[in-house]
C-alpha cells in the first residue's frame, strides 16, 4: 500500500505541475474547453484514487469540483470569476492535502463546507491553509519516523535511451568476446573480460528493473470488477489475489491487461455456477476465483483458477466438428488437453446462451494471439465439476532475449531461442524431405512436419539445394511445429530487440530488429508470422499426420552428432537424438544435494553431469546445460559452448575403461571424445558397465529409447543393428524387445530374444534396461552362443 500511495502522490504532483499554467489561463479565458477538460480530468482522477485509498476529505473536495465542472462542460452552467476562484481554491486545498500525505502525517478532520459552498456561488472562496495534526512522539520524545519512500518519475523515452546505451555495451561485449575467441588465449585478458561481462550483466539487470512495475497495479482493479460482474449475474463470487509483489515490465503489464480481464469475465460468467446450482452440486454457495502470479526463471506465470463447473471437452469437440475445425476421425484421437485447447479456436463456445458479457465464441482466440504476440503461452486445464485453471506464461521483459542467428547467402537473421525445438541436417540419416501437393514435408525421426525454405519465403537467392540446408524445427508459442530450412546457423546470443520500422513490421514476418556483434543490423523473426506467410496453417494441421509409420533406417552409417566444448575445455560430441534442448542456467540454480550435483530447470530438478564440483564454475554467472532425455527420464549435462553439428564419419576408438566418455574419434578433422549417454543415465541410477562382440542384432527402432540409448551399447559390443520390423531381422543372432509391450519378436531357430523391462523389479526372463553390467553380459553371452 505504501508503494501505491507513493505512486498516487507522484502522479498527483505531476498533474498539478502541468495544470499550474492551465488554471491561470482558464481564469483569464473561462470559455477555453481544452483547459476545462484538463482540469476536469485531474479532479476526476483524484476522486477515483481517493475512493480506493480511503481519503474521504479529498474525495469530497474532488467530487464537488467534478460536479461543478461537469455542469460547465454540459452547458448547464456558465463559468464566471466566482466559479473559477472556487475551483482554484479547491485545487489548492487538494495540493496542500497531498503534501501532508507525502510527509506521512495524519490528515486533519477539518471542515471544507465553505469551499464546497463557494462552488455554488453562495459565499466567496476562503483562503484557508490546511495544517497537519502534530506528529506523534515516542516515549523518548523523539518524533516517530515516517515511512515515505523517495521516488522520482522518469519518462519512458529516457529509460529507453538508457537501455539503448546498455544494449550497445552488450553488443560491444559480444564483439570483444568474438575477437578474444579468435586471438591467442591470454589468461589475464580473459579474467578481465569475465569481470567486465559480469559488471555489464549486473548493470543491464539494474536498468531493466527500472522498467519493472509490481503486478499489483494490474490486480488492484480485479476485486471491484468481480464484485460488479457477480451482482449483474446474481452470483456470489469471492476473489483471492496473491503474488502482487511480483515485478513485470511495465509495457508487458499493459499488454496482458485485456487478456486477463477477458479470462476473468469468462470465469465468472461461464465457469462459476449460480448459487442454487452450486448447492445442488454439493458445493458451497459462494464461488472462489483465485488469481496468482509467480516468477519461474525468466518467465512470469499468472494463474486464474475457479472452482466452477469446468469445461466440457466433449461438447467442445462436437462444436469443433460442427464448425468444420476438425473431422470426426481426428476428433477420436484427441487427448484431453487437445480437446480443451479447442477453446482457443475462433467461433467456438460452449455457452448455452449469449449474454452481454460473453458467449459469442469470440475472444479466447484473441486472448491467445495477444499473449503469443509478446512471446507468451496460454495453457488451460479443467476437470468437469471441479473447475478450470488458465495459466498465462509471459516473458519477464521484451528488451533482451536469447536468440539463434541464421543466414541465407550473406544475409543474417535471428530466431527467438524459446521457439526452437531442435536443429537437424536436411541430409541427415533421420531426415527425409518430400513434396506433397506443392508443399514441403519433412519427416524427422518418424515425425512428419511442414517444411518451408526461408530463401523462398523472403525471395532471396541461395546457392544451396534443399539437401544441403539445415532445418530449424520451430514451435511458435501455443502452436504446432514446423521446419524452417536455412543455409547456415551461427551462434546463440543474447540480442537486444528494438521495434522495426512500421513498413517492416507490417509484413507480419518480424518481431523487431537488433544488431550483431559487428554492428550489422539483423531482423528478428516472429515464428508464427513465418508460418503464416510461408503457408503453414498451424491450427488446421491434420493431427493424424503428425506421426507417421515411416521407419528410421536402423543400420544407416550416418550418425548426427552435436560437437561442443566441455567446461574443462575438451572437445566432445554427443548423439543429437539424446539432446532434448539447450538451456541457459544461472549458477545459483546449481546445487549439491543428496550427495550429487543437481540443476533446477524451470520447475524441475534434474541430476547434473559434466561438472565435477560447483567450484569449477568460478565467477561464471550462468552456464549452458544440455537437457538429455531417454524418452521417459531427463538429466542435465553442463558445457561451455556448442561448436557445430557433425556426422560421425570415422571409426570410434573405444576408451580403455567405463565412464562418461565411451571413446574418441576424428570429428571435423580433430579428435573429439564421445559422451556415453547410456553410462550417464545408468551411473545416476547407481549402475555400472562391461564390453564387446560381432554379430547381427534386431531392435525396434521406432522406440526412441531403443534407438538413442540401447543401439549405441549394442554397436559398441560389436553387433550390426537391423530394424526388428524388417525381413533382415529373420536372420538376426539376437533380438531385443520391451518386456512390457508383450510383442513377439520375429526370429528363427538360432535367434535369441533379450527382453528389457523399465523397472528394477521384475521376472527372471528379462533385464532391467539400466542394468548396464547385465546388458553387457547378455550381449557377450549371445555373441558366444550361450
306: confidence class by pLDDT, cuts 50, 70, 90 = very high
pLDDT digits (tens, 9 = 90+) for 617-634: 877 888 888 888 877 778
pLDDT score of 354: 47
CA angle 14, 20, 25 (to 5 degrees): 145
Q: Please give the backbone phi and psi of residue 444, each rounded to the nearest 5 degrees, phi first.
A: -115, 110
CATH number at residue 370: 3.30.565.10
End position of a domain, from candidates 144, 179, 210: 210
Q: Are residues 522 and 385 in the same domain?
A: no
Range of the domain at 609: 560-684
pLDDT score of 388: 92
- End-to-end Cα, the chain, rounded Å: 78
pTM summary value: 0.43
Domain annotation covers residue 137 = no
How large is the average pLDDT for residues 742-749?
47
Domain annotation covers residue 153 = no
Domain annotation covers residue 41 = yes
pLDDT score of 342: 84
693 pLDDT higher than 60: no
CATH number at residue 106: 1.20.120.160
pLDDT score of 139: 47
Q: Are residues 222 and 340 in the same domain?
A: yes
19 pLDDT higher than 70: no
Residues in the chain: 786
Q: Are residues 391 and 404 in the same domain?
A: no
How large is the average pLDDT for residues 311-316?
86
591 pLDDT higher than 80: yes
How large is the average pLDDT for residues 102-106?
76
Q: Where does residue 633 rank: exposed (0-12), middle (13-18), buried (19+ CB within 10 A)?
A: middle
Domain annotation covers residue 150 = no
Q: Are residues 206 and 220 in the same domain?
A: no
Per-residue burial over 505-533, b = 16 or more CB atoms within 10 Å of its CB, e = otherwise: beeebbbbbbbbbeeeebbbbbbbbbbee
pLDDT score of 135: 44
CATH number at residue 739: 3.40.50.2300
pLDDT digits (tens, 9 = 90+) for 144-171: 444 445 566 677 677 777 877 777 787 7
End position of a domain, from candidates 395, 423, 440: 395
502 is written with which cell numbers? Answer: 512500421
Least confident segment among 20-29, 176-185, 469-478, 588-597: 20-29
305: confidence class by pLDDT, cuts 50, 70, 90 = very high
Question: Which DSSP string do the residues of 198-266 spell out, in sequence order?
Answer: HHHHHHHHHHHHHTEEETHHHHTTHHHHHHHHHHHHT--EEEEEE-TT-EEEHHHHHHHHHHHHHHHHH
Q: Are residues 621 and 583 in the same domain?
A: yes
Q: Are residues 503 and 488 in the same domain?
A: yes
pLDDT score of 92: 81
Domain annotation covers residue 16 = yes
Least confident segment among 25-39, 452-466, 762-776: 25-39
**For residue 377, what is the enclosing H or E element?**
strand 377-383
Least confident segment among 213-217, 352-356, 595-599: 352-356
Q: Are residues 378 and 407 in the same domain?
A: no
End position of a domain, from candidates 395, 423, 451: 395
Q: What is the largest CA-CA distance in the chain?
A: 115
Structure-model confidence comparison of residues 81 and 279, the more confident one = 279
25: confidence class by pLDDT, cuts 50, 70, 90 = low
CATH number at residue 443: 2.40.50.180
Least confident segment among 88-97, 360-369, 770-779: 360-369
Domain annotation covers residue 127 = no
Q: How many of the other CB atoms lie within 10 Å of CB of 269?
A: 19
Q: Are residues 263 and 391 in the same domain?
A: yes
679 pLDDT higher than 70: yes
pLDDT score of 18: 64
Q: Are residues 535 and 580 in the same domain?
A: no
pLDDT digits (tens, 9 = 90+) for 183-219: 776 777 877 888 888 888 788 777 777 777 778 778 8
Domain annotation covers residue 53 = yes
How large is the average pLDDT for residues 755-762?
84
Helix 222-233, helix 250-266: angle, nearest 10: 20
How large is the average pLDDT for residues 470-494?
79
Q: Are residues 433 and 479 in the same domain?
A: yes
Q: Are residues 321 and 468 in the same domain?
A: no
pLDDT score of 133: 44
Number of independent structural domains in the chain: 6
Mean pLDDT over the full length of the chain? 76
Q: Are residues 679 and 700 in the same domain?
A: no
Domain annotation covers residue 19 = yes
Amino acid at each position: 500500500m505504501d508503494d501505491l500511495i507513493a505512486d498516487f502522490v507522484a502522479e498527483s504532483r505531476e498533474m498539478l505541475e502541468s495544470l499550474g499554467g492551465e488554471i491561470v489561463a482558464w481564469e483569464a479565458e473561462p470559455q477555453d474547453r481544452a483547459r476545462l477538460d484538463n482540469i476536469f480530468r485531474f479532479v476526476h482522477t483524484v476522486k477515483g484514487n481517493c475512493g480506493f485509498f480511503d481519503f474521504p476529505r479529498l474525495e469530497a473536495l474532488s467530487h464537488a469540483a467534478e460536479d461543478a465542472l461537469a455542469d460547465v462542460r454540459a452547458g448547464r452552467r456558465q463559468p464566471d470569476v466566482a466559479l473559477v476562484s472556487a475551483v482554484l481554491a479547491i485545487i489548492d486545498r487538494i495540493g496542500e492535502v497531498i503534501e501532508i500525505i507525502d510527509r506521512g502525517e495524519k490528515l486533519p478532520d477539518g471542515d471544507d463546507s465553505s469551499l464546497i459552498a463557494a462552488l455554488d456561488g453562495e459565499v466567496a472562496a476562503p483562503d484557508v491553509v490546511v495544517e497537519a495534526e502534530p506528529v506523534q512522539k515516542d516515549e523518548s520524545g523523539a518524533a516517530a519516523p515516517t515511512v515515505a519512500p523517495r521516488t522520482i518519475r522518469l519518462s519512458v523515452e529516457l529509460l529507453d535511451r538508457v537501455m539503448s546505451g546498455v544494449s550497445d555495451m552488450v553488443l560491444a561485449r559480444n564483439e570483444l568476446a568474438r575477437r578474444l575467441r579468435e586471438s591467442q588465449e591470454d589468461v589475464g585478458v580473459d579474467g578481465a573480460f569475465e569481470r567486465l561481462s559480469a559488471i555489464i550483466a549486473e548493470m543491464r539487470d539494474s536498468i531493466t528493473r527500472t522498467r519493472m512495475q509490481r503486478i499489483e497495479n494490474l490486480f488492484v482493479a480485479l476485486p471491484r470488477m468481480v464484485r460488479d460482474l457477480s451482482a449483474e449475474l446474481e452470483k456470489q463470487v469471492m476473489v483471492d489475489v496473491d503474488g502482487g509483489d511480483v515485478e513485470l515490465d511495465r509495457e508487458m503489464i499493459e499488454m496482458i491487461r485485456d487478456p486477463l480481464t477477458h479470462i476473468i469475465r469468462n470465469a465468472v460468467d461461464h465457469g462459476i455456477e449460480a448459487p442454487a446450482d452450486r448447492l445442488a452440486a454439493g458445493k458451497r454457495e459462494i464461488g472462489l476465483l483465485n488469481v496468482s502470479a509467480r516468477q519461474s526463471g525468466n518467465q512470469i506465470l499468472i494463474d486464474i483458477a475457479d472452482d466452477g463447473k469446468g469445461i466440457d471437452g466433449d461438447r467442445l469437440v462436437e462444436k469443433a466438428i460442427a464448425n468444420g475445425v476438425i473431422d470426426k476421425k481426428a476428433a477420436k484421437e484427441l487427448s484431453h488437453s487437445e480437446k480443451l485447447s479447442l477453446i482457443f479456436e475462433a467461433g467456438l463456445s460452449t455457452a448455452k446462451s449469449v449474454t452481454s458479457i460473453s458467449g459469442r465464441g469470440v475472444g479466447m482466440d484473441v486472448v491467445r494471439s495477444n499473449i503469443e504476440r509478446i512471446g507468451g503461452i496460454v495453457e488451460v486445464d479443467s476437470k468437469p465439476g471441479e473447475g478450470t485453471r488458465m495459466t498465462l506464461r509471459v516473458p519477464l521483459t521484451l528488451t533482451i532475449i536469447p536468440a539463434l542467428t541464421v543466414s541465407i547467402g550473406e544475409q543474417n537473421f535471428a530466431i527467438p531461442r524459446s521457439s526452437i525445438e531442435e536443429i537437424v541436417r536436411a541430409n541427415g540419416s533421420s531426415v527425409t524431405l518430400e513434396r506433397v501437393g506443392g508443399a514441403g514435408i519433412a519427416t524427422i525421426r518418424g515425425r512428419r512436419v511442414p517444411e518451408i525454405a526461408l530463401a523462398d519465403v523472403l525471395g532471396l537467392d541461395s546457392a544451396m539445394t534443399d539437401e544441403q540446408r539445415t532445418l530449424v524445427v520451430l514451435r511458435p508459442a501455443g502452436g504446432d511445429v514446423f521446419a524452417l530450412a536455412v543455409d547456415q546457423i551461427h551462434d546463440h546470443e543474447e540480442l537486444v530487440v528494438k521495434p522495426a520500422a512500421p513498413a517492416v513490421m507490417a509484413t507480419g514476418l518480424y518481431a523487431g530488429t537488433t544488431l550483431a556483434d559487428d554492428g550489422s543490423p539483423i531482423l528478428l523473426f516472429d515464428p508464427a508470422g513465418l508460418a503464416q506467410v510461408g503457408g503453414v496453417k498451424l491450427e488446421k494441421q491434420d493431427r493424424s499426420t503428425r506421426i507417421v509409420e515411416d521407419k528410421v533406417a536402423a543400420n544407416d552409417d550416418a550418425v548426427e552428432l552435436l560437437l561442443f566444448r566441455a567446461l574443462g575445455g575438451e572437445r566432445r560430441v554427443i548423439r543429437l537424438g539424446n539432446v532434448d534442448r539447450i538451456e541457459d542456467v544461472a549458477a545459483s540454480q546449481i546445487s549439491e544435494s543428496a550427495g550429487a550435483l543437481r540443476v533446477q530447470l524451470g520447475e524441475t530438478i534434474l541430476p547434473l553431469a559434466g561438472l565435477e564440483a560447483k567450484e569449477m564454475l568460478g565467477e561464471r554467472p550462468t552456464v549452458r546445460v544440455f537437457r538429455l532425455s531417454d524418452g521417459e527420464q531427463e538429466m542435465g549435462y553442463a558445457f561451455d559452448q556448442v561448436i557445430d553439428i557433425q556426422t560421425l564419419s570415422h571409426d570410434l576408438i573405444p576408451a580403455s575403461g567405463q565412464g562418461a566418455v565411451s571413446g574418441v574419434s576424428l570429428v571435423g578433422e580433430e579428435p573429439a571424445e564421445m559422451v556415453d549417454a547410456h553410462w550417464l543415465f545408468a551411473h545416476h541410477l547407481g549402475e555400472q558397465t562391461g564390453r564387446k562382440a560381432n554379430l547381427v542384432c534386431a531392435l525396434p527402432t521406432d522406440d526412441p529409447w531403443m534407438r538413442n540409448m540401447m543401439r549405441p551399447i549394442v554397436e559398441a559390443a560389436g553387433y550390426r543393428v537391423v530394424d526388428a520390423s524388417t525381413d533382415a531381422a529373420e536372420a538376426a543372432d539376437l533380438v531385443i524387445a520391451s518386456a512390457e509391450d508383450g510383442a513377439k519378436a520375429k526370429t528363427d531357430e538360432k535367434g535369441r530374444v533379450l527382453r528389457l523391462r523399465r523397472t528394477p523389479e521384475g521376472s527372471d526372463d528379462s533385464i532391467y534396461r539400466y542394468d548396464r553390467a547385465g546388458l553387457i553380459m547378455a550381449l557377450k553371452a549371445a555373441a558366444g552362443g550361450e
